Homo-oligomer: A and B are copies of this chain.
Amino acid sequence: MINAFHQIDEVIHQKIRLGIMSLLAAHDSAEFVELKEQLQVTDGNLSSHIALLEKNKYLTVHKSFAGKRPLTTLKITKKGRDALAKYFEVIKLILEE
């Protein structure tokens, strides 16, 4: 258990970031506003967590427009998907004994 504990990915092991990554893993991509609604967080809070995930290359951020409305689309990367899978394995190792 203890070896697994020290392998916990702290980038993912935070409630909002786990929510973002899980939603992206399930849907491949999502709009900023969708994540905000689903996770019930403020713009600023969501933005800071997305920035950290982007910095770690777990997701990509694409900004565009839908008519005049700005549209921010998040997409999970291969690295992010792998990190999420590993995170789950680590948590299982910690908790299943």
Q: Which of A1, A5, A84 has the most CB of B within 10 A?
A: A5
Of the candidates B5, B38, B84, B88, which one forms a contact with A2 in the assembled complex, judged by CB atoms under 8 Å apart? B38
Of the candidates B15, B87, B88, B96, which one forms a contact with A8 in the assembled complex, judged by CB atoms under 8 Å apart? B15
A39 at interface, CB cutoff 8 A: yes
- Which residues of B have CB within 8 Å of A88? 91, 95-96
- Which residues of B have CB within 8 Å of A8? 15, 18
- How many positions in chain A have a CB within 8 Å of any CB in the partner chain? 24
Bound CA–CA A13/B95 (angstroms): 12
Bound CA–CA A1/B6 (angstroms): 26
Q: Which residue of B lies closest to A19 (CB)?
A: B5
Residues of A bordering B, CB below 8 Å:
1-2, 5-6, 8, 10, 13, 15, 18-19, 22-23, 26, 38-40, 84, 87-88, 91, 94-97
